[in-house]
Amino acid sequence: MTFTLQELATTSGGELVGDPLLQITGAASLAEATPGEISFFANRKYIGLLRKTRASAVFVPTDFGEPITPAQIRVSNPTKAFEQVVFKFAPKPITFAAGIHPSAVVDRSAQLGERVSIQPHAVVEAGARIGDDTIIGAGSYVGHETTIGSACLIYPRVTIRERSRIGSRVIIHSGAVIGADGFGFEMVDDRQQKIQQLGIVQIDDDVEIGANTTIDRARFGRTWIRQGVKIDNLVQIAHNVVIGKDSVIVAQSGISGSTRVGQRVMMGGQVGIVGHLEIGDGTAIGAQSGVSKSTRGGAWFGSPAVPLAEAKQQIAWIHRLGKLFARVKEIEKKLGL
């Protein structure tokens, strides 16, 4: 498939600087693009890649003014414009026919909406309810009395345990486990005894959950992932945790039991949060931070995590320790110590 540069500029509503008849045959990143392909530039830290790119054309911001060899399409949002072009060149999406595959096991009491697709070897237990246009991938498990809303995409080999509540337009990637028992034990007669986990997991509309992520059921009540939350791969969310609307949690993070995370919180990779904390709305937590006390928003970093300005100061002090030790040693030498 081929488009002229003018066609792409018209589609994106951008201002063209270059040959309108230039043929574009594909889309790629600045580093990987080859002649005939279009790329995008949206962040100043990639200016070096822009100057070296082999792309024939680049989406750039409307105020971009540097001289570059590739043709330009100036748009308000280069990332979004590039995404639209990628869709034009991408293969057609995979589709799944409605119906139940002969190898799937669906209990007679399960209620399926219109155009539901149950793929090979999936299991849907008694009392489950699945909304219109939802896809249950191959080998996935939907537990007893679980509710799944409309237009959800459950990829292969997802486990959704009993009585979980899943909203609409939810995406759950392979290997995720929703509703495993919370990690609860107490010492009785010098032995660890299991505390029964009687609650549920509730996942609201428009949530996406990455591969091999685990979200534990509550001890009582619910573990609650609220609307619009995006969770990366390999994240652990413990019992009775609440994640506020539109928060983002990056890979290998872990949130201990009964912590409440506010709205629009951003957690970098490998963040660890102890239990029973309150993470305020709009908090940003840097990668590999360990959070041991509640926050009220703002940026936090370090282990234990502190406000970002304080963390930067501490890092600067640590980097100066070598020079400080050398100065002290020199002073001691002069004093004969």
Known catalytic residues are 239
Can you name the residues that pair with 299 across neighbouring β-strands? 284
Please give the Cα distance from 321 to 137 (Å, whole number): 55
Please give the Cα distance from 170 to 228 (Å, whole number): 9
Cβ atoms of 171 and 151 within 8 Å: the answer is no
What 3-state class would DSSP assign to 34?
A: coil
Calculate Rg over the CA atoms of the chain. Answer: 26
> Could you give the C-alpha distances from 241 to 216, 222, 298, in angstroms and in order?
9, 8, 21
What 3-state class would DSSP assign to 247?
A: coil
- Contacts by 163-168, CB closer than 8 A, 24 or more apart: 163/200, 164/200, 164/201, 164/202, 164/203, 164/217, 165/200, 165/201, 165/202, 165/203, 165/222, 166/203, 167/203, 167/204, 167/205, 167/206, 167/207, 167/227, 168/131, 168/205, 168/206
What 3-state class would DSSP assign to 78?
A: helix
Cβ atoms of 223 and 205 within 8 Å: the answer is no
Can you name the residues that pair with 71 across neighbouring β-strands? 57
Show the tokens assigned to 72.
Answer: 């330009």
Show the tokens assigned to 5.
Answer: 């540069």
Cβ atoms of 138 and 122 within 8 Å: the answer is yes
